[in-house]
Structure formats: structure tokens, C-alpha cells
Amino acid sequence: MFKEAFKYYKAKWPPPDLNGVIDFEEPSKTNHESTLVELQDNVPGLHLSFPPIGLQPPQSWRCYALKSHPGILVIRNPFTVHGQRYWIARSLRDYPRAPNRINLNENLFASDAIKDWWNALQQCDDKDEARRLKISMRWATLGYHHDWDTKVYSETMHTPFPQDLSNLCQYIATVLGFADFEAQAAIVNFYPIGTTLSGHTDHSEPNQTAPLFSFSFGQTAVFLIGGTTREERPSALYLRSGDVLIMSQQSRLCYHAVPRVMKTQEEPWNNLPADDADEKLMKPERKKLRRDFEDNSNVCDMSLYRLVRDDSFWLPYMHYLNDSRININVRQVLPSGVKQLPLPPS
């Protein structure tokens, strides 16, 4: 069932009928009403204030659950435009650098490693070479680095997790009632249009009860969520730029995939609002918080946050996003209260 659905939505010709894809932008469409539950009154932390810079206040979030897939939650783009730009720039400029790992450096000697992929891409004069460099970037790992061969996390492949991303997840987790969540590992997936991610479960984490947080930016994905076996029929949903998908409880270990990344009509990362919500968030009542951010520059890179407002800085990011999607997929690895993974037997 899962494989068939994957093939159906991946197909170039004939193109799939997308009418059955659950659309959080138009929740009242067709038969989705029976599938989608708007959660507003049941979100424990909707009253919370002081979201991290770049997030709208939770009172304005639209949160959904899927009746057919208990544990799947979706927040429809809770980011401000500059918030989206910040996370896109972090994903492209910063996360593919040491100490994080990237697919391009797998199996290379350290001396041959690409140290700064985004910069190399910007410096590349040869159009074909630049295209190759762009589309060959597929993932970066942060924190506990996913070992694609053994699928086992280890302390020897562990580097500090970015504090800003941890902070973002912690806030969203608290709003949704998962206050114990600790962000410890992430995969940043890069999807040029036409690429896919086939069906799999995420079961490498010793902690499989903590939820998984998945952030989408750029072009739109068709995302499949199934059951705990490949035999169950999956549901298809659109994940658009800014959407946050949470796999919790029964859905944490369910099969999922991205069979299609498709060009979107809307480009929320480019639509600078006439009424600058971010600017308001940085005004007097936020002064103390801003001071906290600046005191601890790790929590949010304020200089990057200012830079993404500048159109000439933003231009190369806009070009990248014209035909690509980015997904930041964050997990807790350790059981609550545990400080590190057991050492392997000697």
C-alpha cells in the first residue's frame, strides 16, 4: 500500500490527482473536514508569550490533528517572513559547516572536504559546476550525527547542537504540551525539485517516545504518513513553507515519505509585509528579551536576523529556493534524565 501510494504521487506521467491531498491552507476543502481536527482549544500553551524571534505569538497559530493518524500534529506556518528567512539562511549558510556533517564530505579525506558549501556555491563561476554543487547537497546532520550505515547514534559522533534550533523546538514543544522535549539530533534535508525521500521509519533514537519536530521551508512537499507497517494505506498531506509537522505518540514510529516536491504559487519567504510584525516584536516591550538574546548570542544570531532583511543579502537564498525545499528534522535521542549514550562494549 505504502509503495503504491509513493509511486502514484512520485509519477511524472500521468501526473497524480492531487485533490485528495490534505491541505492545511484550505482545511474546509472536500472531504478533509472528516479528517482534520482544528486543535485550538486543546493546545496547552497557547497563552504563552515571548515566542523566540521569528515566530508569531501562539495565539495566532493554526494547529491541526489528523483523526486517521493519531499523534500527527501540524502547525500551519507559525513563522514571520523574517523568521522563515532566518531558518532558511541558517540551513544553507551555517548548518552545512563544521562541526556538522554533510553528505558531500562522506568518504573524503579531511583535506578534500568542502568546508563552506554555501560560500563555495556563491564563488563558483562555472554555471554547470554551480548547478552540480547545488543539487548534490542532500543532507547535513547536527548534534548526534545520524550514522546512515549502522543507524546507531554514538558519543563519538556527537557535536554541540545549535542553541537557536534547540530553543525554537523547546518553545513549540512547550506550547504543544511536550515540555520535557530536548532537541539533540537533527537532519537538515535538501530537496531540489524532482528529488524524493522514500518510505522509512525513524527508529534509531533510543528515545522513541519523545516527539519528532519537522520544519519545512521553500517549495511544497507532498508528504505521506502511513502506519507501523508498509501494508497500511498512507494519507497524503501538503507541507508548505513554514509548516511544522510533529510526529508524536502512536505516529512517532510510522512509515513516512516525501514522494514529490512541487513548485508553489506562494512564496511566503519573499512577501515582506507592509506591516512589519517582526519589527514590532523587536520594539520596546521586547527590549528585555532582546537584551537576553544579545547577551547570549548563541540563542539567536541577531546579526543574521538583521541581514535577512537586506534584499541583496537575501538574493542568493531566494534563487536557491526557486526550485528547492529544505526540511529540518529534529529528534530527542536520549531518554529523559539520561546525559549520554552508553559506551559500546570494548
Ligand X SMILES: O=C(O)CCC(=O)C(=O)O
Report which secondary-structure segment, H or E, holds 328.
Answer: strand 324-331
Which of 56, 189, 220, 251: binder of ligand X (CB under 6 A)? 189
Looking up cell 523547546 gives 170
Which of 65, 258, 289, 333: binder of ligand X (CB under 6 A)? 258
Asked whether residue 256 is marked as a ligand-binding residue, the answer is: yes
The smaller minimum CB distance to ligand X, of residues 39 and 253, is found at 253
Sequence-ordered list of residues with C-beta below 8 angstroms from that of 14, at least 6 positions apart, any chain: none
Instruction: List phi, psi (to 5°) of 196.
Output: -140, 170
Alpha carbon 324 to its chain's center: 13
Nearest distance from residue 200's CB to ligand X, in Å?
Answer: 6
The yes or no reply on residue 329 touching ligand X (CB under 6 A) is: yes
Which parts of 196-329 fold into alpha helices (H)? 277-281, 287-295, 302-307, 311-321
Whether omega for the bond prior to residue 273 falls within 30 degrees of 0, making it cis, is no
The yes or no reply on residue 324 touching ligand X (CB under 6 A) is: no
Angle (CA) 264 268 271, round 5°: 125
Grid cell of 202 as nine digits = 525513524
The smaller minimum CB distance to ligand X, of residues 223 and 320, is found at 223
Q: Are 114 and 104 in contact (CB under 8 A)?
A: yes
Grid cell of 83 as nine digits = 523568521
Which of 167, 170, 235, 327: binder of ligand X (CB under 6 A)? 327
Q: Are 251 and 69 in contact (CB under 8 A)?
A: yes
Which of 214, 220, 248, 324: binder of ligand X (CB under 6 A)? 214
Asked whether residue 116 is marked as a ligand-binding residue, the answer is: no
The smaller minimum CB distance to ligand X, of residues 121 and 254, is found at 254
DSSP 244: E
The smaller minimum CB distance to ligand X, of residues 72 and 239, is found at 239
Nearest distance from residue 212's CB to ligand X, in Å?
Answer: 8
Choices 17-25, 45-53, 122-130, 215-223 (CB under 6 A): range interacting with ligand X = 215-223
Report the residue number whose CB is nearest to ligand X.
Answer: 327
The length of the chain in residues reads 346
The yes or no reply on residue 202 touching ligand X (CB under 6 A) is: yes
Choices 100-108, 113-121, 123-131, 213-221 (CB under 6 A): range interacting with ligand X = 213-221
Sequence-ordered list of residues with C-beta below 8 angstroms from that of 203, at least 6 positions apart, any chain: 253
The yes or no reply on residue 260 touching ligand X (CB under 6 A) is: no
The smaller minimum CB distance to ligand X, of residues 114 and 140, is found at 140
Choices 25-33, 34-42, 55-63, 214-222 (CB under 6 A): range interacting with ligand X = 214-222
Which of 137, 172, 175, 187: binder of ligand X (CB under 6 A)? 187
Q: In what order do the strands lie in the sheet with 212-218?
A: 36-38, 62-66, 72-76, 244-247, 212-218, 324-331, 185-192, 139-143, 101-102
The smaller minimum CB distance to ligand X, of residues 172 and 258, is found at 258
Which of positions 217-236 make contact with ligand X (CB under 6 A)? 221, 223
Q: Tell me the Ramachandran region of residue 151: left when phi exceeds 0, alpha when psi lies from -120 to 50, beta otherwise.
A: left
The smaller minimum CB distance to ligand X, of residues 53 and 224, is found at 224
The yes or no reply on residue 255 touching ligand X (CB under 6 A) is: no
- Binding residue positions for Fe cation: 200, 202, 256
Q: Which residues bind ligand X (CB under 6 A)?
A: 187, 189, 197, 202, 214, 216, 221, 223, 239, 256, 258, 327, 329
